[in-house]
A = this chain, B = another copy of it.
């Protein structure tokens, strides 16, 4: 049976040694000192270890069932959800006026890693609610906020996002769900939505669906799409639950993983809906949710890699198989533990250096969201907008890759479901697909974000890397700064190639978009590792330093810089071969 322990020491290092959050000028950060964040991590970590993680395999085995229109979640989910709700964990970063604790978004990210790593399918019920509540907070009227948010923040009511239809996934302009205006200002919503995570379940009194639909007579395509609040059960102005709305579950999808989450086909049959935000501006409102959701999905990617790594490491330390070629390490046993073998170590170091780098990158991203929201910092807003597709695309691709690598450490046992390693990989797989498949993330990055605001944000990013390298060009940091410089230079060369060739032929840029996304991911993790190494080196100079931890941190960073970062040269080489080898073949010649 696998297990999970919140990586408290590493989280605290990122928060306080790397990001130094409690001295940042973001409102609310001064309260988040090491004691406070330590308490969050320890308390929630205990709930995750003892209650939520033990349900991870239960959820995978049982899945959700639909009987007589009612969705049942796996045994134990409801009780655990009650504990999550009663502990106040679902309202950490919600505004106090709507029942929340008013903490920064970063608190949600810290909790999110713990919850997602320990049980991804379970945590999605809350995660979707958080996203839907954010959209209502950003685009709702005061009356809407007052009506829906407090119950959503407490997760007494949960939320969903309804975008996809059978024939309309990425291309939402083709959607057919209709909204017919009523004389009372409401709309009747009719249509079918698919792939609705947490679409229905038995853990909340109501479900607040956010549904994209086209108002009769709306413009064609994506510009005619509006967003609606469509509750499962109608709510009167005093907040009392009333009649069932015209919303039903068509079926629960059978998926590769995240079986504990009910992925539903949702049917809307003249259901009452309330316009959220402006008519025909539904995509704008939905993007509020989607950007946040994309960060959350990037987090899911590395969180599955984190728990897979924890278990792979435990197995590598415990399982006796073969002998160290340089000399027996466990003379009293029949064999040495797996971890003596160089290729097992290579595999573990790949995982460890990715997960720790990804955590730093994601937490850093969360601080940018707080800066953008709490300080109205436009630069931070632009930078996180640029980096969102990288966090989503790169961290989920690598998260899956390393969850799979962790499975490999177990040999044949990794393929047997009772050991739990298969589930981490199967669950992680969805993160590469939903909230915009990773190819779409690459398109967003290269086709939109690079040029946003005249390329200002990507230039600021390069400037940031350059400044860091200049300020840290001493001998001590050489093993970090030199590779970071080289990788950043590769990335700039790729951007230059796109500028020079993409205007004439957009395919010259788009054919290289996936490679670019991965290059940028490596540069971001390289920057994180260089900064973490610097923080660790400074930490080592202090009295009472945790030398073992800090030295391991530096060693792990050296691994990433030496063995992962040079991938940028390969990606650049691919990009510079141009689009011809990709676009040349006629579709019929494949």
Contacts and interface: CB of A to CB of B under 8 A. Distances in A.
B555 A169 contact: no
B514 A346 contact: yes
A226 to B, nearest CB: 20
**Which of A255, A343, A344, A429 counts the most chain B CB atoms within 10 A?**
A343
A326 interface: yes
A429 B404 contact: yes
Contact of A433 (B174, B256, B414, B432): B414
A239 interface: no
Interface string A542-564: 00000010011001101100110
Contacts of A342: 507, 510-511, 513, 579, 582-583
Interface string A572-586: 011001010111110
A143 interface: no
B408 A433 contact: yes
A434 interface: yes
B438 A170 contact: no
Nearest to A441: B343
Interface stretch (A79-87, A179-187, A381-389, A415-423): A415-423
A345 interface: yes
A256 B426 contact: yes
Interface string A501-537: 0000111001101100000000000000000000000
Interface string A158-185: 0000001001111100100000000000
B585 A321 contact: no
B570 A566 contact: yes
A422 B195 contact: no
Contact of A434 (B412, B422, B574): B412
Contact of A585 (B317, B442, B556, B582): B556
Interface in A287-346: 313, 317, 320-322, 325-326, 334-335, 337, 339-346
A327 to B, nearest CB: 10
Nearest to A558: B581
Interface stretch (A91-99, A230-238, A347-355, A372-380): A347-355
Contacts of A167: 320
B589 A562 contact: no
A573 B564 CA distance: 10
Interface in A421-440: 422, 425-426, 429-430, 432-434, 437-439
Given A325-B507, A346-B582, A507-B325, A430 B411 contact: no
A291 to B, nearest CB: 19
Contacts of A426: 256, 426
A590 interface: yes
A464 to B, nearest CB: 26
A552 B442 CA distance: 27
B343 A511 contact: yes
Given A584-B555, A590-B313, A416 B570 contact: no
Contacts of A443: 341, 343
A569 interface: yes
A422 B579 contact: no
A317 B563 CA distance: 38
Given A256-B422, A582-B559, A325 B510 contact: yes
A498 to B, nearest CB: 12
A58 interface: no
A254 interface: yes
Interface in A473-494: none
A279 interface: no
Nearest to A581: B559
Given A352-B590, A415-B430, A514 B343 contact: yes
A337 B587 contact: yes
B415 A343 contact: no
A567 interface: yes
Contacts of A348: 590
Nearest to A400: B404
A253 interface: yes
Nearest to A313: B590
13 contacts: A194-B412, A255-B415, A317-B587, A340-B587, A341-B443, A342-B513, A343-B513, A349-B585, A400-B404, A408-B438, A411-B433, A552-B589, A569-B569
